[in-house]
Amino acid sequence: MKVLLVFAHPEPRSLNGALRDVAIEELRVQGHEVRVSDLYADGWKSEIDRADFPFLTPEARFKPAAASGEAFAADALTPDVKAEHEKLLWADALILQFPLWWFAMPAILKGWVDRVYSYGFAYGVGEHSDRRWGDRYGEGTLAGKRAMLLVTAGGWEEHYAARGVNGSIDDLLFPINHGILYYPGYDVLPPFVAYRVDRLDAAGFEAVAERLRERMRTLGTIPSIPYRRQNGGDYLIPSMQLRPGLGDPHAAGFALHLNETTAAKADGEDEIVAVPVEA
Amino acid sequence: MKVLLVFAHPEPRSLNGALRDVAIEELRVQGHEVRVSDLYADGWKSEIDRADFPFLTPEARFKPAAASGEAFAADALTPDVKAEHEKLLWADALILQFPLWWFAMPAILKGWVDRVYSYGFAYGVGEHSDRRWGDRYGEGTLAGKRAMLLVTAGGWEEHYAARGVNGSIDDLLFPINHGILYYPGYDVLPPFVAYRVDRLDAAGFEAVAERLRERMRTLGTIPSIPYRRQNGGDYLIPSMQLRPGLGDPHAAGFALHLNETTAAKADGEDEIVAVPVEA
């Protein structure tokens, strides 16, 4: 497979830097091709602004989505954004690697999303009718490819459990997994999360590294999170509400958007419904 | 009251710019003092990196949390960050205003959080013992102050409802409301959200503006979201798991972290449990 790893940590000598190297080495051992977008090292520009759309006249009001769509259609995006599009189209699998800062991506990675996810490329794709609401949530430009998060967290795993004070890690990552990866079409793999990373000794690091190597070996085969397809019949159009009767009546929150049927069928692994974070 | 509004839209002539002006005008009519951090206009630096900590030698490994703590303790933070600390300590209420891009803040606002939320100021505060796990989630530097989100979304309100395809707006905003505002101590008010903002005509704008004026009039009095206090007995220490028996057994996801008792008592307004987005 061809793998793109987008890396968002400012220090190459960090735990994140070491885990990146472990992942890349194992992927190459497995015969995969790997490319890396190292956002800090590359001096990635985080803010979407007028400078991204030099064709705008000074008098023109800047509307980000409209400008993005116009630039994409006219092949007038900036070279840094075009290079990322090329890499995304090249790759069979995308890995976003970052430290969890304030329960979300670092700003520089959010800026990669904001600027690279152009209108016409990652959203605003496909027809809107009484049967389809655009190509999104399981369909779109990046459909057929796989994507996953590789995340480090300073806090304890228990604090991110189903009843942990931070909120569950699966729920905290849903806006990214579902809203950023599934949206333009990716099959989204369960995230790889390492906890308490500020306290890792050599043995602790090796345990995380070995777990990561195993995950890299199964990058092409591990079942994806069974999100429901938007246009597959589970959601009413145009209200995009989950059809009455679907979803565990005791479920609430983001878990409603998992297809229990698909999940149960996935190699009999019931636990995939809960999108487990590996221990 | 003293109010700080942090504004994160690149275009002053945008709907966001117009809503900002509406909010500021109404707050001043009500006798409040208002200051604004206009991140794009001020050229806010989004990426936390070595340049934020000039005391680091080139050989030193850059550890963001450690460097942040050292800089805060030594009063060696950069002037832009110190200025934001001063404003946060000055203000009785904080408003974060932004367009919802990819179900999260724009990068420039995330960069404001990443850089302004210093170790020792917004986290790493207070004692850790068998009775307390630091001053966070309802306690901390900013306790006693109020905070809220002012958000615009291009999508339909129905798509952000409890069973909407995007996930519910309350859940999507939980990482910000609970993880960024409640964490350092704020009382968090229900968010103000305007939907389908790309299609607003003059009458539509005036309706949103009037709803916003009303919200600004109640900024000091509207009940806050009844999140549970970390150190109030609801969570076990140190696992930080919600104590067995607490939480609606049919609830799941982020809703577990709402205190039903407090919610029900709040002026008899049962609906506050669901943190309603005003229609």
Instruction: Please report, for the domain that includes residue A175, its CATH number.
Output: 3.40.50.360
For residue B277, pLDDT beyond 50: no
pLDDT attached to residue A263: 52
Q: Report d(CA A147, CA A179) in Å as an integer.
A: 13
Separation in Å, CA of A119 to nearest CA in chain B = 12
Of A99, A113, A241, the CB nearest to B158: A241
Q: Residue range A168-188: average pLDDT? A: 97
Question: Is A99 within a domain?
Answer: yes
pLDDT attached to residue A253: 85
Q: Report d(CA A213, CA A278) in Å as an integer.
A: 13
Question: Is B130 within a domain?
Answer: yes
Q: Residue range A219-224: average pLDDT? A: 97
Of B106, B235, B247, the CB nearest to A165: B235
Residue B168: list chain A partners with CB under 8 A: 253
Structure confidence at residue A217 as a pLDDT band (50, 70, 90): very high
Q: Are B255 and A252 in contact (CB < 8 Å)?
A: yes
**What are the two backbone dihedrals, phi and then psi, of residue A42, each rounded to the nearest 5 degrees?**
-85, -5
- Chain A, chain B: beta-carbon pairs less than 8 Å apart: 214
pLDDT attached to residue B261: 66
pLDDT attached to residue A269: 39
Q: Residue range A245-262: average pLDDT? A: 79
Taking all residues of chain B, what is their mean pLDDT, rounded to a whole number?
Answer: 92
pLDDT attached to residue A262: 61
Bond into B64 cis (ω within 30) = no
Residue B104: list chain A partners with CB under 8 A: 104-105, 110, 175-176, 179
Q: Are A40 and B47 in contact (CB < 8 Å)?
A: yes
Q: Are A164 and B241 in contact (CB < 8 Å)?
A: yes
| Mutation target vs A (from B7, B11, B47, B257; most A CBs, 10 A cutoff) | B47
> What's at B248, amino acid-wise?
D
- State which residue of chain B sits closest to A250, comparing Cα positions: B250
Q: Are A48 and B163 in contact (CB < 8 Å)?
A: no
Structure confidence at residue B259 as a pLDDT band (50, 70, 90): confident
| Mutation target vs B (from A6, A44, A102, A248; most B CBs, 10 A cutoff) | A102
Q: Report d(CA A108, CA A243) in Å as an integer.
A: 37
Give the start-end residues of each E strand in chain B: 2-7, 33-38, 93-99, 146-152, 187-188, 192-194
Q: What is the DSSP string of B198-255?
A: GG--HHHHHHHHHHHHHHHHTTTTSPPP-BPPGGGTTB-TTT-BBPTT-S-TT--GGG
Q: Residue range A142-158: average pLDDT? A: 97
Q: Residue range A196-207: average pLDDT? A: 92
- State which residue of chain A sits closest to B39, comparing Cα positions: A47
From the number of C-beta atoms within 10 Å of its C-beta (0-12, 13-18, 19+), residue A236 rates as middle
Q: Give residue for tokens 């968090």.
A: B188
Of A158, A176, A253, the CB nearest to B254: A253
Structure confidence at residue A267 as a pLDDT band (50, 70, 90): very low
For residue A38, pLDDT beyond 70: yes
Rg (CA), chain A: 19
Residue B108: list chain A partners with CB under 8 A: 46-47, 107, 111
Domain count, chain A: 1
Bond into B276 cis (ω within 30) = no
Pick the range with the lowest mean pLDDT from A98-102, A244-248, B15-19.
A244-248
Both tokens of residue A31?
């015969």
Q: What is the DSSP string of A240-265?
A: -BBPTT-S-TT--GGGGGB-HHHHHH
Q: Residue range B35-62: average pLDDT? A: 97
Question: Is A159 within a domain?
Answer: yes
Percentage of chain A exceeding pLDDT 70: 92
Both tokens of residue A164?
């942990």
Question: Is B242 within a domain?
Answer: no
pLDDT attached to residue A270: 37
More confident residue, A260 or B189: B189
Q: Are B158 and A239 in contact (CB < 8 Å)?
A: yes
Question: Is B249 within a domain?
Answer: no
Q: Residue range A45-52: average pLDDT? A: 98
Residue B147: list chain A partners with CB under 8 A: none
pLDDT attached to residue B122: 98
Of B102, B114, B162, the CB nearest to A107: B114
| Mutation target vs A (from B53, B165, B166, B246; most A CBs, 10 A cutoff) | B165
Separation in Å, CA of A102 to nearest CA in chain B = 6
Of B50, B117, B174, the CB nearest to A10: B50
Q: Residue A106: which of A218, A233, A11 has the closest Cα?
A: A11
Separation in Å, CA of A266 to nearest CA in chain B = 22
Neighbours of B274 (CB within 10 A): 14
For residue A266, pLDDT beyond 70: no
Print the domain residue range for A145: 2-225
pTM: 0.93
Separation in Å, CA of A53 to nearest CA in chain B = 13
Of A158, A178, A257, the CB nearest to B240: A158
What is the 3-state composition of chain A as percent helix, strand, coil, each rounded to the nearest 5? 40, 15, 45
Q: Residue B85: which of B59, B125, B122, B54 has the closest Cα?
A: B122
Question: Is A257 within a domain?
Answer: no
Taking all residues of chain A, what is their mean pLDDT, rounded to a whole number?
Answer: 92
Q: Report d(CA A218, CA A198) in Å as an integer.
A: 27
Both tokens of residue B250?
């049919």
Structure confidence at residue A259 as a pLDDT band (50, 70, 90): confident
What is the 3-state composition of chain B as percent helix, strand, coil, each rounded to the nearest 5? 40, 15, 45
From the number of C-beta atoms within 10 Å of its C-beta (0-12, 13-18, 19+), residue B12 rates as middle
pLDDT (tens digit, 9 = 90+) per residue, B112-140? 999 999 999 999 999 988 889 999 999 99
For residue A19, pLDDT beyond 90: yes
Question: Is A113 within a domain?
Answer: yes
pLDDT attached to residue A22: 98
For residue B266, pLDDT beyond 60: no
pLDDT attached to residue A94: 98
Separation in Å, CA of A159 to nearest CA in chain B = 5
pLDDT attached to residue B252: 72
Of B163, B165, B178, the CB nearest to A167: B178
Both tokens of residue B78?
């950069």
Question: Is A260 within a domain?
Answer: no
Structure confidence at residue B262 as a pLDDT band (50, 70, 90): low
pLDDT attached to residue A130: 85
